[in-house]
Each structure stands twice: as structure tokens, then as C-alpha cells.
Chain A
Amino acid sequence: MFFTTPSKLRAHGMLGMNRRNVAYISRYNNRRFYPLVDNKLKTKLVAEKARAATPRLLAVVEQQHQVNRLQQVLELYSEFVIKPAQGSQGKGILVITGRDGDHYLKPSGERVSPAEISRHASNILSGLYSLGGKPDVAMVESLVHFDHVFDEFSHEGVPDIRVIIFKGFPVMAMMRCSTKASDGKANLHQGAVGVGIDLASGKALHAVQHDRPVSHHPDTGAHFATLQVPHWDRILPLAASSYEMTGLGYIGADIVLDVHQGPMILELNARPGLAVQIANGTGLLPRLRAIEALSHPDMEVAERVTWAVEQFGERPAG
């Protein structure tokens, strides 16, 4: 059968796009708070204020004349990332991992001149990478040193963990692993692998590519069953704290793992997609409803995480 039936989807508690839009996003996400997540600079500022771990903000370039002073600031660092505050899908991100005299080095080893850095910053300011060409702000962030535990589960790109947070409770999590097919991007509809992660243990549950189950990473051959996200106990509280930070009821928190500093919030998303259900092989609705049915939802972050792990975590067999 090419199509399934609505009743089967309902039985699995699958959240559909229409219900997501009507019953969750428009009901629990106040539009007033959207800029907090749509603008990465604002996200970072609220995250820093809340003492949530996030890549450190080294410099902000808001106006053209500041571009010239940027060099003096960057003198201090040998590795950093320049990105637009309102860019989407990784556009306009320049990663510098080292120096070679006056020049900077990209991860690929390519040399970048200071003039090119300046030009990149002014391109960001003029809105080259922002949606609709709005004038933007360039941010300089400290470089994330991705944890090597994921090396065998990723092709070139950046693996990240997406946690769905509903009213501050972690609901479901997945890891997005880039592949050759996705061109190193962690974008599921381009062919990245989505791996459902057990909320209790941080272990892989189930993996899909192009919405079909897979067991091994298509490029590295690594078996997903062996995937265990380190520092799992720190990831969920970090993600859950984004509720207090943003005031948004239904969000997706994108978490990356830094070798030295552990989990960090990289981005927040007020309209997280539905692929997390496929990666986990289960629907979101029963979990969302369980939280909606709570009589005392006003809990501290730690209590919420404990409750969610108890409710939604897999129990080891036997």
C-alpha cells in the first residue's frame, strides 16, 4: 500500500502538520517571542543571561564602520565562526580554524585574507544571507570543537541533537547525521540520517534516511545501535531551560557537543518539523497530551526532565 490510513496514524499518535500549526504552534507560541529564536544574536543574549551553555560571543558587527575594527578583535583569536544573526540553513557561516601569518585558515586548509573576512562581514550586514534580504548583523562566535564520538556517524558535516520541548518538558529527541547524499548538511529531506534518541539513556533507538529505516550509516558503515550520546544527563536540562529563556511553548532546541565544554545550545526553532517522529518510530501526540493533562505543570527544569524521562524514556528490557 502506498498510503496508510488516518486511523492508523492516529493509533500511533502521529502529529500532523495541520494539528501542529493549529493546536500547538499557534496556541503555545506567542508571536511576540519569535524574534528571540529567529535572531541568533537575541537567542544567544537570552541564553547567556540564563547562563545556558552556548558558543561564546566574541564580537558583533552591526554597522559598516565596525567592520574595519573587526580585524583588531580577531587578532586575539585563531579560531572562530562568523555567521549572520538571521541566516537560515547554514548560509553565510564562515568557519576559521587556524592562522597562517596574516591569513586565516578554513577547515579545508584554504587560506582566507583579512580583506575577505571583512567583505564577508559586510555582505552579512547588507543582508546577503538573511531571508528576504533584510539588513542583518554579523556575529563572531567561538568555534565549537565537535565531540569525536560522532565522527563515525557523520560525513563531513556537523552532527546535532534536536530536542522537542513542550511547555518546558523534553518530549522527544533525535540526532541528525549528515551523509554524502545530504552534502554534509544535517538536513533530513536532503538525505541526512535521523536517529531517534532515547530520552532516558541517550542511546539510539531507531534510524531513518529519507523516511525509511536504516541500521548503518550509509557512508561510514557505523552501526547506529552502538550510538550513545555522551553527557546525556546535561543535554536535557539545557534544552528544557530554553522554555524559560524564550517563553515559547513548543520549540525545537538544537544542541551540539563541544569536546571541552560539553553540550551547548546552537539554535532554537519555533517551528520544528515532524521528522523527529519518524526518526523515533513513534508519534508525538500522546506525549504532548500527557503534558497538557498535567495538573501541576509549573515545575523546575530538573523536575520536568525527571518527569519526562520517567514518562517517555524507554525502559531496559527485563
Chain B
Amino acid sequence: MNARAQVYLLAMICIVIGLGLTIYKRIELGFPLLPGEQRPVWTVEAKVTFDAEDKPVKVSLALPNTGPGDIILSQDFTSPGYGFGWDGQGAERRAEWARREASGPQSIFYRLQLFHAAKNPAPPTSEAPEPPTAPEMDASTRTAINAVIDLVKERSSDNKTFTNELVRLINNPGSGMNLSSLLNAPHDSTIDKKVYLMLRVLATAGVPSRIVRGIKLEDGRRRVPLSELVEIHDGKHWVLFNPTTGETGHPENFLLWQRGGVSLLDVEGGSNSRVTFSIIENIRPAKAIAIAQGREQQATLVDFSIYSLPIEIQNTFKHILLVPIGALVVVLLRILVGIKTSGTFMPILIALALIQTTLFTGLAIFLIIVSIGLWIRSYLSNLNLLLVARISAVVIVVILLMAAMSILSNKLGLTQALTVTFFPMIILAWTIERMSILWEEDGPKEVVMQGGGSLLVAVIAYLAMTNRLVEHLTFNFPELLLVLLGIILLVGQYTGYRLSELRRFQPMVEGR
């Protein structure tokens, strides 16, 4: 394979891998492509209240049953005076608080910070559970329920339509059936009467069903109880039903707290227990959520990434990762445009200094130091020194200039000029040396051309490197460096004309 084909292949591989990883991170890990992208984070607070009865108290609360789209960013279980423990069995997790003795009204808080993916994933297919056994009830209730089942069955074809029809019937009691006696029959006080009735009818009819408790995520809600939904199995998957509206599927912004008939809250040694929920919506940077999510899922890309480094090192990398952007700018401006710069990568170093000093201060400092440096260097050249000694002398002169500028500006109260130290002094000394040789050999015009070219490239590189989007992308998607590498490889193959040549050769092809 010839060199050219190899370059194309290599560039394509780099670009595909780089873009692929980026897209993966965007879609699977939820990294934001734009800086400052915000995501809602829900803070849900469960408040358990009860009256203690001067006995040992044990409170057990079911913890939310988070789905694949949910990421718990933090949980807080502390309640003063109470010991805390977990009671976890599989997917069903419970928090337990205990206290030797308590009296009077008690409040226990459980606080949860959660990112809730906007879309709820489709329920996974699952085997149908064993058909339920009919609950025990007295004969008259049984007759009434059987009548309901007969009526609903007539108007339905399968479990789903059966449930649908049942919801409709329960919510429109006027349709011939006398449901009010059923609805008003004694029932479990912790469950809504409609839900209770639905579960009983479904169980009697042999439809696998369970109660689902959850909470609608709405900003600024206080003291809301959990809403209750009914989930039935249609033979393939579990389907959620809203017992009031008959809507199916996972409601939007609905945090599923508990599945099945296990109790939500158990309080031993207390009475009048109640649990209520408050919800606040906060806006948090999407990136923080993505990183937390990545950690949660132990995504290798997050685990083995810059985020795993200490913050200080991360900040260093933030700058290092911008260097390739500067390099790309230099490559493009030199190969495609043909701007002459003094030294290939000096513009990048100047741009890095400009990032620290801000643009105009930096340019002013640069021009002042280089002009004075050139002037002193021209004197040094009369002394016929060897190059190493001469450069070293220039380095010292540059340092003295920097010190003088800092001290002077400090006295004058111009704090901005204090950033002079961000300029790489060895590079400045080299620049002065090269410009000086250029001056002697090719004249001041060439110095202005190359010096101006370097500054122009440096300013363009600076603008590219300080662009918020660029900063965001290079730091959060370092794999885009591969894309950059691919592009630079391709540009390195460019054999076409430079923009400057279109100008240079113009009189030759058109002038005559």
C-alpha cells in the first residue's frame, strides 16, 4: 500500500474511532455536546411523621425503585436521635431507623437527589407470573364482583382491554352496575379504594396484577402522598395503568417508588404514621450528572478518563488539550493559507500566554518585550558573541524586562501587566534571536511580515482555543483529538495551492 493510501486509511480510522467514541459518550453516557447544558435534578424529600408511644421505635421505609434512566446523585438518611440501617433484599431496598425511646410527634426525613431521564424505557418483556388466587370475600361481595367481571369480560378481549374497561367502569359508576357498595366496602386503609377494588377484581378474574406506588415529579410540590397505579401483566410485559384516567404506560416524570403490595412504611412503637413527599427541581450542569452516571455504571470511558485525575491535574490538562487546537490552526494557516510565521509552533505558545494574560494586554506585553529585546540584541550582535552566550544574554534581558514591567505596573496599579510572567521567556528570547537574524539578513520588512504573521496566527489560535465550545469539547471529549489527528494527517497530504500563492502567482497568469 502506498504512503498516500496509508495516510487516508489511518486518517479515516482515527476520525471514525474519535467520532464513534464521542457519539457513544453523547448517547449512552449522556455527555452534553454543548457547554453549559443544564439538566433538571429532582430533590425528593420523604417525611415520615408519627406519634411515638414511649416505646422503642423502629421505622422501615421502602426506598425508590429506580429504573435504568434514573441516577441517584445523593441520598441523605440522617434524622437526629435515630440510628440508621439498611434492610436490602434484592431490588427491594428499605431504610430502617431505630431509637430506644421516643415520645410525642416524630419526623424522619429521607432526602434523595435524582436525575431522571426524560424518556422512560419500554418495559422489558417478562414471563407471565402464576395466575393469582382469588381473594377471600363474603358471598354478596363475590356475587357483585363476579357480575363486574362478567360485564367487563364481555367488552374486552385480553388482560389489557379488560383492565381498560374495568377502569372505565369504576370511574363511571352510573353505567348500570351498582359499584358504590363495592367501592364503599371496608378496605385496606393504606390503599385508595378504587385501586383496592381494581386489585380485587383483577385477582378474582385471574389477571396478574400488583400495586405500584410512585411520585409525580413536579417542581415545588409539598406534602404530596404517593400516587398509586396498577400494573397488570398482559402476557408479555407488565403494563402500568392509571386507575383514574385509564392511561397506560409509564407516566412522564414519574419516579417509581415501590412495586407490589409490600408495605411502604412500617412503624413499630408509634401511631398515626404517615409519609408525605416534597419535591424541588434544581438545574444542574449536565456534565456533572453524566460523570456521576458514568461512575454509577462504571463506564470505562469515564473511569479511565481525565475526570479520574485530581482537580489540579485536570486543570493542567484543560490547557494541554487546547494545544492541538492551536496546532490545527497553525497547520491550516500555513499549509492552506501560507502565512509565514517565525518558528512553527511559536504562535501556539504565544496563544497559550494570551489565554493567561487576556488578548490585548498580552499583545501589548509581547510587542514591548520583543521591541526592547530586538534593540538590545542589535547591540549584542556588535560584540561578536557566540550564539549560546548571546541567547543566554537575551534570556536574561527578557527576564529583567519582565521583572521591570511587573514592578512598574504594580507601582502604577496596572494589575493586568503582572500577568507578563505567563509568557514563556525562553521562547521570547528565541523569537528575538530569530527576528534579529532575520533583520540582518532579510531586512526589517521580513521581520514585520514574519512577526506579524506569527501574531496573526497566534491571535486566531487564541480565539479558537478560548472558544467556549472548543474548550468544552476538547476537555470533555478528548477522543476528538483522534479526529483532529485524522484531519491533520489529511491536510498534510494536501498538494494544492496555498491562498498566498493565488496572490503571488496572480500577476504571472493574469497580468500579461
Contact = CB atoms under 8 A, between A and B. Distances in A.
Interface of A: 1-6, 8-9, 11-12, 14, 16-19, 22-23, 88-89, 91, 123, 126-128, 132-133, 183, 187, 189-190, 208, 211-213, 274, 277-278, 281
B432 to A, nearest CB: 15
A248 B388 CA distance: 33
B505 A14 contact: yes
B388 A18 contact: no
A274 B498 CA distance: 13
Interface residues of B, number: 30
A127 B506 contact: no
Given A12-B508, A16-B496, A18-B495, 14 more contacts: A1-B506, A8-B509, A9-B497, A14-B497, A14-B509, A16-B495, A16-B497, A22-B493, A123-B384, A133-B386, A133-B387, A190-B443, A213-B507, A277-B508
Nearest to B511: A213
B503 A132 contact: no
B335 A4 contact: no
22 contacts: A4-B506, A4-B509, A9-B501, A12-B505, A14-B501, A16-B501, A17-B338, A17-B501, A18-B497, A19-B496, A22-B493, A22-B494, A128-B384, A133-B387, A133-B388, A183-B443, A189-B442, A208-B508, A212-B511, A213-B511, A213-B512, A274-B501
Contact of B497 (A6, A11, A91, A127): A6
Contacts of B512: 213, 281
Contacts of A6: 496-497, 502
Rank and list the top 9 A-B pairs by shortest CB-CB distance, nearest first.
A133-B387, A19-B495, A4-B506, A16-B497, A3-B502, A12-B509, A8-B509, A22-B495, A6-B497
Interface of B: 335, 338, 384, 386-388, 441-443, 446, 492-499, 501-512
A71 B510 CA distance: 57
Scoring A8, A183, A187 by chain B CB atoms within 10 A of each residue's CB, the highest score goes to A8
A281 B502 CA distance: 15
B506 A187 contact: no
A128 B386 contact: yes
Contacts, number: 94
Contacts of B384: 123, 128
A22 B497 CA distance: 12
B507 A211 contact: yes
A284 to B, nearest CB: 12
Nearest to A5: B502
Given A6-B502, A18-B495, A89 B441 contact: yes
Nearest to B494: A18
Contacts of B335: 18
Contacts of B507: 211-213
B289 to A, nearest CB: 46
Nearest to A212: B507
Contact of B510 (A4, A23, A91, A128): A4
Contacts of A133: 386-388
A89 B246 CA distance: 90
Contact of A187 (B442, B493, B498): B442
A212 B498 CA distance: 19
Contacts of A132: 387
A266 B499 CA distance: 34
A132 B390 CA distance: 12
B337 to A, nearest CB: 11
B387 A9 contact: no
A318 to B, nearest CB: 22
A1 B495 contact: no
Nearest to B504: A211
B4 to A, nearest CB: 9
B383 to A, nearest CB: 11
A127 B388 CA distance: 10
A23 B3 CA distance: 11
A16 B337 CA distance: 12
A17 B498 CA distance: 7
A2 B506 contact: yes
A123 B511 CA distance: 47
B386 A126 contact: yes
Contacts of A183: 443
B281 to A, nearest CB: 56
Contacts of A5: 502
B487 to A, nearest CB: 16
Contacts of A211: 504-505, 507-508
Contacts of A281: 508, 512
A1 B501 contact: no
B227 to A, nearest CB: 68
Contacts of A22: 492-495
A6 B498 CA distance: 9
B442 A190 contact: yes
Contacts of A16: 495-498, 501
A210 B446 CA distance: 13
Contacts of B508: 12, 14, 208, 211, 277-278, 281
Which of A9, A123, A183, A278 is packed against the most chain B CB atoms within 10 Å? A9
A224 to B, nearest CB: 15
Contact of B502 (A9, A23, A189, A274): A9
A268 B441 CA distance: 20
B106 to A, nearest CB: 79
A183 B439 CA distance: 13
Contacts of B510: 1, 4, 8
Contacts of A126: 386
Contacts of A274: 501
Nearest to A89: B441
A290 B442 CA distance: 36
B387 to A, nearest CB: 3
B455 to A, nearest CB: 20
A225 to B, nearest CB: 15
Nearest to B500: A17
A3 B496 contact: no
Nearest to A3: B502
A22 B504 CA distance: 20
Contacts of A12: 505, 508-509
A14 B499 CA distance: 13
A3 B498 CA distance: 11
A91 B501 contact: no
Contacts of B492: 22
Contacts of A18: 335, 494-498
Nearest to B449: A189
Nearest to B446: A189
A237 B496 CA distance: 32
Nearest to A182: B443
A32 B28 CA distance: 51
Contacts of A89: 441-442
B427 to A, nearest CB: 16
A18 B338 CA distance: 9
B201 to A, nearest CB: 80
B251 to A, nearest CB: 61
A29 B506 CA distance: 29
